[in-house]
């Protein structure tokens, strides 16, 4: 593995002590930093194999349980029966269940049928059949016991998958276009740079102690389906003046509290350079990122304070050792939706078929069924998307109808309603310890209600449901973003509900949704509320107007 250059100089203006290593703040300033300094997160793997899987849950050192386990995609899940009102007041150990969520990273969303079947087997054998596709193309399993983890890793690694740095203060999964290499309209195929990043830098101790998580994207998709605007680092396919294909570099996007869109550095990055530039950006974040306060420890705050010019200068001078050429901005996104749902032609004459499970929720048997359906129809490749959907590639024209019929029979809809297609939900209170409200079942019920009440509604409309103020399901960039919180109902009782954000979007004119002051709905009122919003929009929209415009 390549270790990137450490910074050559340390002469930059000191922007107050925020725990930046490059400015000499090497002493840990909070418990998380202390834990990382005491022992690298990657070292927990051997303890899981040698000690914890044999000694069971009670043998786990607390600093590993609530810290380093994340470096291998393991979080304790929420103890069942604890309501959202207690989330903020209970101690972590009171919220911990003895089971884990396990995140399998699927870089670029690319899966062979063999890999899909292995995940399905693990789900059925060790995870009570659970399997959720996330909005970063991963698959998450639940109910995992620590005793099972070595066997799970062995099975995953035998087919080239892993959970390494799927969570934690690390370079997380690198997302990519599900259609990389097959889409007739793509600008450039991002498959190889993602594979190189994975091989060279994931699990590399040089990057295993970042200030916080680091989310990457590499894509040449003309629909801009990897939402590059909200990644910590993103490479977006472009063609420069000389007609060369490469990437435009964006840094500093992120949602959660203080959402910010990424900024272009104005550089042209050739395909061969993508991995080292990725490592360079990661190095800048590692060394200059703010570590004092967790909520300021994302790269977006650094980029916001420095501006893109200074960021580029430091990247080039201190990490790359060369200047990147200037390059063009990406072409505007191809019209339509970014999710690749439906039947569409590939450039080789075959078709790809995207389908919509309900809010990303699947199970082990259904994953097996998807693999079987794909195989019966001559495909050997499936993809996950950043919209909690899936795609089967390489379907011959005369096999498409039969494949669609089999998917639809399993409620894996290829021609879903807007509501099924564009509603996303985070994990929520069922398993997440930070959650205040339930999300997946609520969103699923909301889809059913809206399909019944508004059967003719066809316009694009994203509804993103989050279980807390974090933004795992991207509330700020949804047409209707729902942030879970407790609200007071008409009877004066505290119940599950949502703060509503309206009018967010990514794409041509990225905008954060507006938090409408005082606009909240209880979970029960939600279908009525959304129906009202949609009917008002329908009544008032002008020709060609979309919800966000």
Query: Within 299-318, which residues bind ligand SF4 (CB under 6 A)?
Result: none
Q: Is residue 104 involved in binding ligand SF4 (CB under 6 A)?
A: no
Q: Of 171 and 428, which has the nearer Cβ to ligand SF4?
A: 428
Q: Is residue 478 involved in binding ligand SF4 (CB under 6 A)?
A: no
How many residues bind to ligand SF4 according to rule CB under 6 A? 11
Q: Of 156 and 442, which has the nearer Cβ to ligand SF4?
A: 442
Terminal-to-terminal C-alpha distance of the chain: 46
Q: Is residue 481 involved in binding ligand SF4 (CB under 6 A)?
A: no
Q: Is residue 234 involved in binding ligand SF4 (CB under 6 A)?
A: no
Q: Residue 163 CB, nearest distance to ligand SF4 (Å)?
A: 17
| Long-range CB pairs of 64-67, under 8 A, 24+ apart, other chains included | 65/96, 66/92, 66/96, 67/32, 67/35, 67/36, 67/41
H/E element, 312: helix 308-314
Residue-wise over 72-86: b if at least 16 C-beta within 10 A, else e? Answer: bbbbbbbeeebebee
Residue from the set 432, 443, 454, 521 that interacts with ligand SF4 by CB under 6 A: 432
Gap between the Cα atoms of 57 and 98, Å rounded: 6
Residue span binding ligand SF4 (CB under 6 A) among the ranges 26-34, 116-124, 268-276, 429-437: 429-437
Q: Of 18 and 479, which has the nearer Cβ to ligand SF4?
A: 479
Residue 56 burial (CB count, 10 A)? 12
Residue 337 backbone phi and psi in degrees, to 5 = -95, 160
Q: Of 251 and 432, which has the nearer Cβ to ligand SF4?
A: 432
Residue span binding ligand SF4 (CB under 6 A) among the ranges 44-52, 236-244, 430-438, 517-525: 430-438
419 and 451 Cβ atoms separated by less than 8 Å: yes
Q: Is residue 470 involved in binding ligand SF4 (CB under 6 A)?
A: yes
Q: Residue 266 CB, nearest distance to ligand SF4 (Å)?
A: 33
Q: Is residue 467 involved in binding ligand SF4 (CB under 6 A)?
A: yes
Q: Of 130 and 222, which has the nearer Cβ to ligand SF4?
A: 130
Report CA dihedral (446, 452, 453, 454) to the nearest 10 degrees: 100
Beta strands 494-502; 351-355: pairing state? unpaired
Which pair of tokens denotes residue 268? 């042209």
Residue from the set 35, 366, 427, 522 that interacts with ligand SF4 by CB under 6 A: 427
Q: Is residue 465 involved in binding ligand SF4 (CB under 6 A)?
A: no
Gap between the Cα atoms of 457 and 478, Å rounded: 17
Q: Of 133 and 414, which has the nearer Cβ to ligand SF4?
A: 133
Query: Within 350-409, which residues bind ligand SF4 (CB under 6 A)?
Result: none
Q: How many helices (H) and strands (E) does the chain have?
A: 16, 20
The 433-452 contact track toward ligand SF4, x by CB under 6 A, reads -xx-----------------
Q: Which residues contact 339 (CB under 8 A, 6 or more apart)?
A: 225, 354, 356, 385, 387, 389, 421, 422
Q: Is residue 84 involved in binding ligand SF4 (CB under 6 A)?
A: no
Q: What is the DSSP string of 28-65?
A: --SHHHHHHHHS-GGGHHHHIIIIIHHH-GGGS-HHHH
Residue span binding ligand SF4 (CB under 6 A) among the ranges 36-44, 276-284, 397-405, 468-476: 468-476
Binding site for ligand SF4 (CB under 6 A): 426-428, 432, 434-435, 466-468, 470, 472
């Amino acid at each position: 593995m390549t270790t990137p250059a450490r910074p050559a100089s340390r002469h930059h203006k000191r922007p107050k002590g925020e725990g930046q290593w490059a400015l000499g703040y090497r002493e840990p300033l909070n418990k998380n930093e202390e834990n990382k300094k005491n022992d690298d997160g990657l070292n927990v793997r051997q303890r899981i194999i040698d000690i914890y899987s044999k000694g069971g849950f009670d043998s786990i050192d607390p600093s590993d349980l609530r810290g380093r386990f994340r470096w291998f995609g393991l979080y304790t899940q929420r103890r069942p029966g604890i309501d959202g009102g207690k989330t903020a007041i209970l101690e972590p150990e009171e919220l911990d269940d003895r089971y884990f969520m396990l995140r399998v990273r699927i870089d670029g969303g690319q899966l062979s049928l063999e890999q899909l079947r292995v995940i399905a087997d693990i789900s059925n054998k060790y995870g009570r059949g659970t399997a959720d596709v996330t909005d970063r193309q991963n698959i998450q399993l639940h109910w995992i016991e620590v005793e099972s983890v070595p066997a799970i890793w062995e099975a995953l690694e035998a087919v080239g998958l892993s959970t390494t740095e799927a969570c934690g203060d690390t370079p997380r999964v690198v997302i990519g276009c599900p259609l990389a290499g097959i889409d007739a309209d793509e600008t450039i195929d991002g498959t190889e740079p993602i594979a190189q990043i994975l091989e060279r830098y994931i699990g590399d101790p040089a990057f295993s102690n970042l200030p916080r998580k680091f989310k990457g994207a590499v894509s040449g998709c003309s629909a801009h389906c990897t939402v590059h605007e909200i990644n910590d680092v993103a490479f977006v396919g472009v063609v420069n003046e000389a007609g060369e294909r490469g990437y435009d570099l964006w840094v500093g996007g992120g949602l959660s509290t203080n959402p910010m869109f990424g900024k272009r550095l104005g550089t042209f990055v050739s395909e061969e350079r993508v991995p080292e530039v990725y490592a360079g950006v990661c190095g800048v974040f590692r060394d200059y990122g703010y570590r004092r306060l967790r909520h300021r420890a994302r790269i977006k705050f650094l980029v916001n304070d420095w501006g893109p010019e200074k960021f580029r200068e430091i990247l080039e001078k201190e990490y790359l050792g060369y200047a990147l050429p200037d390059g063009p901005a990406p072409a505007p996104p191809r019209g339509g939706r970014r999710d690749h749902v439906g039947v569409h032609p590939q450039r080789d004459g075959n078709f790809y078929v995207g389908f919509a499970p309900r809010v990303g929720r699947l199970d082990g048997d259904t994953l097996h069924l998807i693999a079987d359906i794909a195989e019966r129809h001559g495909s050997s490749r499936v993809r996950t998307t950043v919209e909690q959907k899936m795609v089967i590639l390489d379907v011959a024209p005369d096999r498409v109808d039969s494949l669609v019929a089999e998917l639809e029979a399993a409620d894996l809809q290829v021609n879903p309603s807007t509501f099924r297609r564009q509603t996303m939900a985070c994990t929520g209170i069922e398993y997440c310890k930070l959650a205040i409200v339930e999300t997946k079942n609520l969103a699923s019920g909301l889809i059913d209600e809206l399909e019944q009440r508004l059967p003719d509604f066809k316009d694009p409309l994203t509804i993103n449901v989050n279980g807390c103020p974090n933004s795992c399901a991207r509330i700020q960039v949804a047409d209707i973003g729902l942030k879970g919180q407790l609200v007071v109902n008409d009877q004066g009782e505290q119940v599950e509900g949502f703060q509503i954000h309206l009018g967010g979007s990514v794409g041509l004119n990225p905008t954060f949704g507006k938090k409408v002051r005082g606009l909240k709905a209880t979970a029960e009122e939600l279908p009525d509320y959304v129906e009202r919003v949609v009917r008002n929009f329908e009544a008032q929209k002008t020709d060609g107007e979309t919800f966000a415009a």
